[in-house]
Chains A and B, each alone.
Chain A
Amino acid sequence: MTNRIDTCLNGLKSEHRTALVTYLVAGDPDLDASLTAMHCLVKAGANILEVGVPFSDPSAEGPSIQRGHERALANKVGLKNIFQLVAEFRKTDSDTPIVLMGYTNPIEWMGIENFANQAQSSGVDGVLTVDLPPEEAEGYTSVFEKVGLVNVFLVAPTTSDERMQSIVDTASGFLYYVSLKGVTGSAKLDISEVQARVETIKGLSDLPVCVGFGIKNAESASAVSACAEGVVIGSAIVDLLGQCKSQAEVVEKLKPYLSEIRQAID
């Protein structure tokens, strides 16, 4: 089954361009702003949208994204609202891949099959569950495959070569390389270390590699784009959205920020 993610990444590869992957938390600061922001990010050069599913206990997130989750939860945004958001987005954008990024409990609570069916029918293409390593994902992978959802997994600086092989065997779509030991939005990116690790991954797998955690500006994005198929920007966008008081402001703030990064990686 062809998936928007594969189509997108293959297309960029043939153009020798790097994918710009952007993250926001659905419902932060509210659902209308999220919809505006998603379209705006695509216009400013994003190729894949990661839509964060807010969770009460986001244990892998740094302060910026934690606050994003808290703002969304103050609006009681849950998976049901997020499926509506994605369906709404799909009305005017049928190409841009969407990956839901979140934690296991809301999915377990809904039931894996129910989640997968609703995600697929609303227009979601992939799922990245931060606290679901391949060892625990057995019950998920087959259900996701059945409806054509891509299951994205993390690879970390601490991942052994042996584990990396098993992750590569389970993953589809792309691999998400966590560029540093830390939470999202940390500021201790070591580019040469990232390059070396991405090399190792590429020796084991043909899957595209997107690198995230700690990439904040045009400079770091450009450096990472030299070695990976994709660059993920998260905390910096969530910080900008947190400052927005209106829909107009969302566009005003996001557009120049992302355009600069787009230019830097092209």
Chain B
Amino acid sequence: MSSESLRSSMFRQFPDEKGRFGIYGGRYVAETLMHALDELDRIYTELKDDPGFIAEMDSDLTHYVGRPSPLYLAERLTEYAGGAKIYFKREDLNHTGAHKINNTIGQALLAKHTGKKRIIAETGAGQHGVASATIAARLGLECVVYMGAEDIARQAPNVYRMKLLGAKVVPVTSGSKTLKDALNEALRDWVTNVDDTFYIIGSVAGPHPYPKLVRDFQSVIGREAREQCLEREGRLPDSLVACVGGGSNAIGLFHPFLEDESVAMYGVEAGGDGVETGRHAATLSAGKPGVLHGNKTYVIADDDGQIIETHSVSAGLDYPGVGPEHSWLKDVGRVNYVSINDDEALEAFHLTTQREGIIPALESSHAVAYGLKKAAQMDKDKIVLVNLSGRGDKDIQTIAAIDKIELG
């Protein structure tokens, strides 16, 4: 599908009933899971417009998550960049410290309606694992979280949080021992325990209907931001910026704006040591279309089609695939995908901490870094809205290690 043939009013009508965004998405899974995916699709379709379900979801988002999250004018960073006004959508202020909880609340409510008593989740940085463990504790469900052994080592505080919340954290030692392998292991668990287990996928990845329902649950970010910006500034922002690993916070911010032609969008991938070095996680910038974790999307692989280990200072962006809707939005040209290297993200982390008194997650620091660059190129009457997807408490150890400081 070419961008010429696609009118802007059509951007929000995907996926189609087969779960396709153009050529991307779909359901590339073993036969055993097809029935469970059909069931999930049926239940979601039934519930998503049900007033009772919507009221339950809204109530949880208000009283448990603490929504709406503020839209904050980062004055001293605006001054630093010297161009457009920089606003932060403060997803870092959500309960559990990131946007991930928006989706887990939604999926846990679906789980509740299916009557399944056991939930499983995969996690990279640990934020989705913590959000899943949190909601499992609240609903009295058994929770098992799969996490790459390498990620367990670099995200120790989140691992402990999950354990405190009563979840079982299972280290994954196969493959590259990171998020992609945790996803494989969660799929293996699901295929084995499909009768009594609900799989809460944390990103807009996986087989249909996951990319759609995760997007829908995360779209609260963009709906609020749109309203808040109109109220505050009397107009829409000129640019949206969000980091992209799997891409759930980005799609959540972008989706409600897709039909607003005046709004430019930037998805920021992890450039690691630099895309040219090969040590990065910039799937859309450097990958090509393939199939991973149940959907057709851009992936990073070698000549034989083997998925390659990626690199990023932030565990949450360290993923060799990306949500299928992002692949499609790239191809039709609606969203620009760019990359920010480790060192630039670290610089933005420190700037945000010191100039705004906000410690951002390393993932979100990638978005801040690009937001600063973008704002500097724009006039002062323009608006850049950056999704501050999570807080950086979990990254303190990583930062200390990089700065060669020993924590007691």
Interface residues in chain A, defined as those with a beta carbon under 8 Å from any beta carbon in chain B = 54-62, 66, 70, 73, 76, 78-80, 103-110, 130-133, 135-136, 153-160, 163, 167, 178, 181-183, 186
Contact = CB atoms under 8 A, between A and B. Distances in A.
24 contacts: A57-B180, A57-B307, A59-B30, A59-B293, A70-B175, A76-B304, A78-B303, A79-B304, A106-B304, A106-B306, A107-B305, A109-B301, A109-B304, A131-B28, A131-B294, A135-B27, A136-B28, A154-B31, A156-B30, A156-B34, A178-B32, A181-B195, A183-B188, A186-B192
B291 A104 contact: yes
B292 A163 contact: no
Given A78-B305, A109-B305, A58 B184 contact: yes
Interface of B: 18, 26-36, 38, 174-175, 180-181, 183-184, 187-188, 191-195, 289-294, 296, 299, 301, 303-308
A62 B188 contact: yes
B35 A163 contact: yes
Nearest to B18: A135
Given A109-B305, A136-B26, A60 B188 contact: yes
Interface on chain A toward B: helix, strand, loop, or mixed SS?
loop
Contact of A135 (B26, B184, B191, B291): B26
Contact of A159 (B35, B184, B306): B35
A94 to B, nearest CB: 28
A56 B174 CA distance: 10
Given A108-B290, A158-B32, A133 B27 contact: yes
A110 B184 contact: no
Nearest to A107: B305
Contact of B291 (A108, A158, A159): A108
B31 A159 contact: yes
A153 B34 CA distance: 13
A241 B192 CA distance: 25
Contact of B306 (A59, A73, A154, A178): A73
B187 A59 contact: yes
Nearest to A167: B31
Given A56-B175, A131-B28, 13 more contacts: A55-B305, A56-B306, A57-B180, A57-B181, A57-B293, A59-B183, A70-B174, A105-B290, A105-B307, A106-B304, A136-B27, A155-B31, A178-B32
A175 to B, nearest CB: 10
Contact of B290 (A109, A130, A135, A167): A109
B19 to A, nearest CB: 9
Contacts of A54: 306
Given A55-B306, A73-B306, A178-B31, A158 B194 contact: yes
B129 to A, nearest CB: 19
A261 to B, nearest CB: 25
Nearest to A109: B305
A167 B34 CA distance: 12
Contacts, number: 125
A182 B192 contact: yes
A51 B6 CA distance: 43
Interface on chain B toward A: helix, strand, loop, or mixed SS?
mixed
A158 B305 contact: no
Given A104-B291, A159-B35, A163-B34, A56 B28 contact: no
Contacts of B193: 181
B188 A59 contact: yes
Given A60-B191, A158-B34, A108 B289 contact: yes
A180 B309 CA distance: 32
A34 to B, nearest CB: 16
Contacts of A73: 306
B29 A131 contact: yes
Q: Which of A80, A104, A131, A167 has the most CB of B within 10 A?
A: A131
A131 B293 CA distance: 9
Contact of A157 (B32, B289, B292): B32
A136 B370 CA distance: 37
B292 A105 contact: yes
B162 to A, nearest CB: 23
B110 to A, nearest CB: 19
Nearest to A67: B174
A185 to B, nearest CB: 11
B291 A105 contact: yes
A133 B291 CA distance: 13
Contact of B31 (A57, A58, A80, A133): A133
Given A105-B305, A106-B304, A133 B184 contact: no
B26 A181 contact: no
A136 B31 CA distance: 12
B32 A156 contact: yes
Contacts of A131: 28-30, 291, 294
Contacts of A66: 174
Nearest to A182: B192
Nearest to A78: B304
Contacts of A163: 34-35
Nearest to B294: A131
A156 B30 CA distance: 9
A131 B18 CA distance: 16
B28 A80 contact: no
Contacts of B174: 66, 70
A108 B291 CA distance: 8
Contacts of B194: 158, 181
Given A156-B32, A181-B192, A181-B194, A78 B306 contact: yes
A183 B32 CA distance: 10
A240 B187 CA distance: 26
A157 B305 CA distance: 30
A59 B27 contact: no
